[in-house]
Chains A and B, each alone.
Chain A
Amino acid sequence: MSEVLTETRPMLKTIEIPPVSLRRRLIDRLMTVLAVATVVMVITPLVAIFGYLVYRGIGALNWAFLTQTPKPVGEAGGGMANAIVGSMFILGIGSLLGVPLGIGTGIYLSEFGRNRFGDAIRFVSDVLNGVPSIVIGIVAYGIVVLRQKHFSALAGGVALAIMMIPTIARTTEEMLLLVPRAIREAAYGLGIPRWRTTLSITLRTATSGVITGVMLAFARVAGETAPLLFTAFGNQFWNLRVDQPTAALPLQIFTYAISPFDEWHRQAWAGALVLIVLIVGAVSAVRIAVSRSALAGAK
C-alpha cells in the first residue's frame, strides 16, 4: 500500500490546472452582464405598460364611465357600461359553446385517445391554436353573420368559442392524465361503470386543474378584438339580444384609441384598465374559489 502511495505522489504533483485566461474570464463576465441586461430590457416595457395603464386609467375612471353608454362626439362624459356588459355577454355565449366541447375533447384524448386518431386530434388542436384570430373572425362572419344577414353577439361568441376549444382540450387532457391510474382501477374494482368513473372520479379529482385551463382560455379570449370586428361589430347602445350587434370592451377601446379626440383617448385608457382588472379579477376569483373548495374537500 505505502509503496503505491509513494509512487503516485510525484505524478499528482505534475498535474497543473492551467489558469483561466483573462480573455475567457472577461467574455464570461460580459455574457453574464448581457444576460442580466436582456432581463432588464424585457421587464422594462412590462412595468412601463402597467404603470402607464394604471396612471392614465385611474385618472379617467369615474362612476359615469361604469354606468353610462357612450355620448356622441364632442359631448364630455358618458361611459362604456354597455360595452362592459356586452363583453361579458359575448364571453358567456363563447364559454357556453366552447367549454363543453373543449372538456369533452380533453376527456376523449386522455381516456380513449392513446392511438393514431388521438394523435391526429392533438395535432389538429395545436394547428387550430395557431390560426390567427382575425382569420377566425372571417370564418365566423361566413358561417353566422352571412346566414343571419346581420352582425350579432352570437357570431362573436362563436368566434371566441373556436379560439377557446384547443386550449381547454389540451389542458383538460394534461390534467386528467395526472390522475393516478390506481384511482381509476379502484373505481372499476368497485364495479362502477367506466363513464361514471370518468365523470365522477377522474374528472372530479382533476377539477381544479381543468378549471384553471378553462380560465386560461377565458383570459386569452377576453381581450381579443380582431375576431369581434366583423362579428359582434360593436354598438353605441345597450343590447342583450343574441341576434343583434353588441358592444364589446376591446372593440370600444380600439375605436376610441384610433379616434382623434382627447376625451375618447381618456376613455380608452379607462376601458383598458377595466378590461385588465376584469380579466385578472375573473381568473383570480375562480382560482381562489377552486383552491378553497379543494381544501374543504380534503378535510
Chain B
Amino acid sequence: MNSPHPLPRPTLTPASVSKVAPLLKAGGSEWADGLFRLAMMGCAVGIIAILGLIVYELVIRSQLSWHAFGFKFFIGQDWNPIEEQFGALPFVYGTIVSSILALLIAVPLSVGVAVFITEMCPVWLRAPISFFTELLAAIPSVIYGLWAIFVLVPILRTLVQPFLAKTLGWTGFFSGPPFGIGMLAAGVILAIMVVPIISSITREVLSVVPQQQREGVLALGATRWEMIRIGVLRNARAGIVGAIILGLGRALGETMAVTMVIGNRAEIAKSLFAPGYTMASVLANEFSEATGDVYLSALVEIGLALFLVTISVNALARVMVWSVTRGQPARSHV
C-alpha cells in the first residue's frame, strides 16, 4: 500500500517542541488514551451484547411453547393454530430436505468452478469468471424468488418435471402432479444461491495448497487431472468440506426465495414435486399474523431452533476452513 493519504506534515520547529514538550511527557495523554480504548472496547462488547440479546429474546419468548409441548414440539406433525396444536416436524423436514437437495446440485458445480479457476483457467479469464460468480451473491434473495416464480417454475413444470417423472418416477421421489412450485423448485433456487459461497471459499482453500505439491505430482508423470485429484483436492479436503458446510448454513436460513416457490404446505411428502414448508418460511408467512401467545411462542421456538442449528453449522465450518488456511493471510477476490 503506497499511502493514499499524505501524513500531516510535522510543523514542529525546535522552538515549538520545547513549548509543547511538557504536554507530550509520558502521562500527558494517558487519560485520553484510556478513554479512547474504553470507548472502542465498548463497541466490541456491544457485539457480544447483541448476540446475548438475541439468545435472551429467543429463549424468553419461546418459554410458553416449550412448557406446553416440550421436546414433542419437534416430533409433532400437526400444525394447527386454531386448536393451538403445534408440531414443527414438517418445517424441520422441509428445511433439511430443501437444503440437502440444494447441496447435491451446488457442490459439484461450485467445486468444478473453483478447480477451473485455480487450476485450468488462462490467467486473463480468472478475474472475470470469479467476478461473475460472486455477482450472483449480490442479488437480493427476493429477486431470486421473483425470477424463480416467473422463469424457473414454468421451466420445471413444462420441461424438467415431466422428464424426471418419466425417467425416475419409479423411485417415488419424482411422482405426482407437476405443479412446478414445490420442494424441487426450492432446492434448485437455493442451489443457485449457495454456489457463489461454496465456490469462493473452495477457491480460497485450493489457492493455499503449496505449489510444490502440484509440481511434485506432475514430476511423477501425472496428467493434469491426476495432479488436481492427488495433489490439490486431497490436500484441501477439510477446507472444501468446511466450504460446503458454510453453504449449508446459508441454505438452512434462507427465507424469501424459498418462501416464494416451495408451496407453503405443512406436510411431509416423499415426492420432491409436492409442496413443502421450511422453518424460515413459516416464520416469514405467519409471524406477523400470529394471534395468541402460544402461537407466537411456538413460532419463536422455531426461530430459536433455526438459530441454534445455523450457528453450530457455521462454527463447525469455520473451524474446518481455518484448519486448512491457517496462517495464511485472508485473500478474498484475487
Contacts and interface: CB of A to CB of B under 8 A. Distances in A.
A169 B4 CA distance: 22
Given A31-B225, A105-B47, A121-B48, A135 B142 contact: no
B215 interface: no
Interface string B129-154: 10011011011111111110111000
A124 B47 contact: yes
B61 to A, nearest CB: 6
Interface in B246-260: 249, 252-256, 260
A142 B280 contact: no
Contacts of B228: 31
Contacts of A49: 139, 143-144, 147
Interface stretch (B160-168, B206-214, B281-289): B281-289
A124 B139 contact: no
Size category of the A interface is: 35 or more
A178 B199 CA distance: 26
Interface in A146-161: none
B288 A219 contact: no
B221 to A, nearest CB: 7
B243 to A, nearest CB: 14
A298 B4 contact: yes
Contact of A195 (B7, B12, B33, B47): B33
Contacts of A133: 253, 255
Contacts of A208: 4
A193 B145 contact: no
- Grouping DSSP codes into helix (H, G, I), strand (E, B) and loop, the B interface class, with mixed when no group exceeds half, is helix
11 contacts: A18-B221, A38-B109, A131-B54, A138-B283, A138-B303, A139-B54, A165-B46, A250-B256, A253-B142, A257-B260, A265-B150
Interface string A156-174: 0000001001100100001
Contacts of B116: 35-36, 38-39
Interface string A264-299: 010011001001100100000000000000110110
A39 B113 CA distance: 5
A287 B57 CA distance: 38
Contacts of A56: 150
Residue of A17, A24, A223 ringed by the most chain B CB atoms within 10 A: A223
Interface residues of B, number: 94
Given A28-B225, A196-B29, 14 more contacts: A32-B120, A42-B133, A48-B151, A123-B315, A134-B283, A165-B50, A186-B7, A190-B12, A208-B4, A224-B140, A226-B141, A254-B145, A257-B146, A297-B4
Interface of B: 1, 3-8, 10, 12, 20, 24, 28-29, 32-33, 35-37, 39-44, 46-48, 50-51, 53-54, 57-58, 61, 108-113, 115-116, 120, 129, 132-133, 135-136, 138-147, 149-151, 192, 195, 199, 221, 223-226, 228, 249, 252-256, 260, 280, 283-284, 287-288, 299-300, 303, 306-307, 310-311, 313-315, 318, 330
Interface string A108-144: 1101110001101101111111111111111101110
A198 interface: yes
Contacts of A207: 4-5
